[in-house]
Amino acid sequence: MITVSLCMIVRDEEETLGRCLSTVCDLVDEIIIADTGSVDRTKEVAASFGARVFDFKWMDHFAAARNFAFEKASMSYIFWLDADDVLEEVDRFRFQKLKERQDFDFDYVSMPYHLTLDEKGQPVHYQRRNRLVKRQCKFMWHGAVHEYLAVGGNGLHSDIAVTHRKIKPYSYRNLQIYLKCKARGEVFEPRDQYYFANELYDHGRNEEAVEQYQIFLDSGLGWIEDQIAACYKQAVCYARLNQPDKQIQSLVRSLAYDAPRAELCCKLGAFFADKQDFQKAIYWYRQATMLERPQDAMGMTDESAWTWLPHLQLCYCYDRIGDISKSKIHHDMAKMYNPTHPSVLYNEAYFAGRSEQQFSAQ
């Protein structure tokens, strides 16, 4: 069986660290905590789980802190989490089974990262992250903010999910780091250019975000998933700025990078539905229902776009053009995927009030 070091960087996480460690402490062989300046009980919580706690002087650089924690690991593999992450029971079972594999000789293992959940605890937004790496490969973290772990070699895309359960509100910390870098005249690498735009986007600085996304996209560099996401988010900024012509241009631009995703089709459908152009909206929502889901995609996935959402919207659009029969068909499809969604329940009552003659007359 492989041995595993859990490596984490934390600061003032007394509210969440115990919850995190309680879901993983019996699955790992040592816990390494790099504390970047806590003034609460974070270190005490870590120590109560037998963690080795090290102080790391914060220098506005997340990769440096993670690499410091990785250097302290002594087991054959390194696993990393953030303090507001957990392993659910099914994923704890999968993790243990992974450790017990007799043929385990992977250099890295990726795992789905569940970022948002629905009311039933099912993932809505998720992406894959490289989570477990062989220590002797000496993989390194890169990036001051929104750091990434560069890996290579023989990898495994596992079904072990890490679930994000954030408690703290989002802060201006990451944006401030980027603004300091910009003020110093630093030239951003493509990935940082994209994430700088994201920080502006998240904080409602729409005009600045549009400009930074444009710089990123015009460079022609960066990960294709980031290029596609930049188009989506730039479109949102244009919508916020009430510039629909530029909004649609940003959405369509994403088609230059890869085949259309269900997320894009739903965004285009929504654009035309808002304009009451229901035939065009129907076209794009129908495309979303016919796409083949990519396997082991590392980019962000919106599960609703691949399942119930386009059917829910098709139900609405067909109803608006008077095609009640097709509207009901897509309601039933949406209900199959998400029977308790408030809009599905509303539509169920709506159709219950219509007579069979109305359907057959279509």
The pLDDT of residue 356 is: 58
Residue at which a domain ends, from 102, 136, 164: 164
The pLDDT of residue 25 is: 98
Residue at which a domain ends, from 236, 258, 280: 258
pLDDT by residue (tens digit) across 186-207? 999 999 999 999 999 999 999 9
The pLDDT of residue 168 is: 80
Same domain, 222 and 111: no
Q: How many CB atoms lie within 10 A of CB 9?
A: 25
Same domain, 135 and 217: no
Same domain, 72 and 126: yes
What is the DSSP track for 27-49?
T-SEEEEEES---SSHHHHHHHT
Confidence tier at 185 by pLDDT (50, 70, 90): very high
* Total number of domains in the chain: 3
Q: Give the domain CATH number at 307.
A: 1.25.40
Domain that holds residue 212: 170-258
The fraction of the chain above a pLDDT of 90, given in percent, is 92
Q: How far apart (Å, rounded) are the C-alpha atoms in residues 332 and 334?
A: 5
Residue 170 has pLDDT above 90, yes or no: no
The pLDDT of residue 357 is: 53
User: What does the pLDDT average to over 228-241?
Assistant: 98
CB 229 within 8 A of CB 209: no
Confidence tier at 296 by pLDDT (50, 70, 90): confident
Q: Give the domain CATH number at 231.
A: 1.25.40.10
Residue 355 has pLDDT above 70, yes or no: no
The fraction of the chain above a pLDDT of 70, given in percent, is 98
Q: How far apart are the first and last CA of the chain?
A: 63
CB 225 within 8 A of CB 235: no
The pLDDT of residue 298 is: 85
Same domain, 308 and 266: yes
Distances in Å between the Cα of 205 and the Cα atoms of 38, 117, 282 are 30, 27, 32
Higher pLDDT, 179 or 360: 179
CB 308 within 8 A of CB 330: no
Same domain, 151 and 62: yes
Q: Nearest CA to 116 among 165, 167, 170?
A: 165
Residue at which a domain ends, from 224, 240, 258: 258
Collapse the DSSP code of 233 into the 3-class scheme (helix H, G, I; strand E, B; otherwise coil) and give the result.
helix
Same domain, 320 and 342: yes
Same domain, 183 and 241: yes
User: What does the pLDDT average to over 352-357?
Assistant: 71
The pLDDT of residue 358 is: 60
Same domain, 209 and 239: yes
Same domain, 186 and 330: no
pLDDT by residue (tens digit) across 37-47? 999 999 999 99
Mean pLDDT rounded to a whole number for the chain = 95
Q: From the centroid of its chain, how far is CA 36?
A: 25
Q: Give the domain CATH number at 148.
A: 3.90.550.10
Highest mean pLDDT among 168-182, 290-304, 318-332: 318-332
Same domain, 68 and 52: yes
Same domain, 152 and 271: no
Same domain, 23 and 159: yes
pLDDT by residue (tens digit) across 131-159? 999 999 999 999 999 999 999 999 999 99
User: What does the pLDDT average to over 350-354?
Assistant: 88
User: What does the pLDDT average to over 278-299?
Assistant: 93
